Amino acid sequence: MTERSAAQEVFYDGACPVCRAEINQYKGMVEPGSVTWTNVAEDGGLPEGYDRATLLARFHTRREDGKLVSGARAFLAVWRQMPRLRWAGRALDRQPFIAVLDLLYSGFLKIRPLWRKAA
């Protein structure tokens, strides 16, 4: 059994080749069946209260405790499902690490449209 702050469902942009490649890596690093992978660029199920544009704009996960998180906390939740990265998911889930990771992720989001258009 995983911890409550680990990802149970991942909402990702399958139209972004960089995002898709990263998710494919993640899929190979988690226990089969432990995570539901929802490509929101297609007609995947959306969580209540969220629209497709919001989910495409940032990486989101639903944790085992039911909470939807985005950005750095979403990545940390996925890492907590991975035996090799679980330690990082736990160690970095506090300030100032979350702020730094969110800053880096915000930088990526600024250049991501360049890859998305190329797909």
User: CA of 70: how far to CAs of 1, 14, 55, 114, in Å?
Assistant: 23, 16, 9, 21
pLDDT given for residue 1 in this prediction? 44
Model pLDDT for residues 9-49, shown as the tens digit of each residue: 999 998 888 889 999 999 999 999 999 999 999 876 889 89
Angle of helix 72-79 versus helix 97-118 axis, rounded to 10: 90
Q: Where are the beta strands (DSSP E) in 22-112?
A: 36-39, 60-63, 68-70
When pLDDT is cut at 50, 70 and 90, the band that residue 117 belongs to is low
Of 85, 81, 71, 62, the residue nearest 11 (C-alpha): 62
| C-beta separation of 21 from 27 below 8 A | no
pTM: 0.89
Of 90, 81, 84, 87, the residue nearest 31 (C-alpha): 81
Residue 97: partners with Cβ closer than 8 Å, 6 or more residues away? 72, 91
Model pLDDT for residues 93-113, shown as the tens digit of each residue: 999 999 999 999 999 889 887
The encoded tokens of residue 19 equal: 């995002």
More confident: 55 or 112:
55
